[in-house]
Each structure stands twice: as C-alpha cells, then as structure tokens.
C-alpha cells in the first residue's frame, strides 16, 4: 500500500501489516490510490505538420528560354 508524507510530499510503500496500520493512524501520512492508466493521445494527422522548404529545389539548374 502506498502513502504520501504530507510534510515532504514523498511517496512511501508500506509492505507489512504493522507499517500499514501505523501509517493509517498517523497524522502525517495519507493513503494514495493508484489511478488507472490513460491511453496516449492519438498521433496528429500528416496534413497538420509544417513542411520544411526543400533544399533540392535551390540546387536544380534553371531552365533557359531562347527566343
């Protein structure tokens, strides 16, 4: 069972019955419940990302029009 020390904020794991009873009666410890795991947020759509300018376009030879 997990307990939070109200003075320091640290989490302490009580492993035996005696420790659990003492911490439950103590004024400086508070029992902590474990929250269920939350699923990660879905990935963003590809169209919402900004595209970096392509460097290959600046290296391409320019077309010359003869007239």
**Given a cut of 70, is residue 49 above it in pLDDT?**
no
**Given a cut of 70, is residue 35 above it in pLDDT?**
yes
* Res 27: pLDDT: 95
Given a contact cutoff of 8 angstroms between Cβ atoms, the answer to whether 28 and 37 are in contact is: no
Q: Compute the average pLDDT of residues 5-27.
A: 94
Q: Is the pTM of this model over 0.85?
A: no
Q: Compute the average pLDDT of residues 44-50.
A: 63
CA distances from 58 to 9, 13, 24, 54, 62 (A): 57, 61, 70, 8, 9
Each residue's pLDDT tens digit, 13-22 = 999 999 999 9
Q: Compute the average pLDDT of residues 33-46.
A: 77
């Amino acid at each position: 069972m997990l307990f939070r020390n109200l003075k320091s904020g640290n989490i302490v794991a009580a492993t035996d019955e005696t420790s659990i009873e003492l911490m439950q009666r103590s004024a400086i410890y508070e029992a902590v419940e474990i929250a269920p795991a939350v699923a990660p947020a879905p990935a963003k759509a590809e169209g919402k990302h900004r595209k970096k300018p392509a460097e290959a376009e600046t290296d391409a030879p320019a077309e010359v029009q003869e007239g």
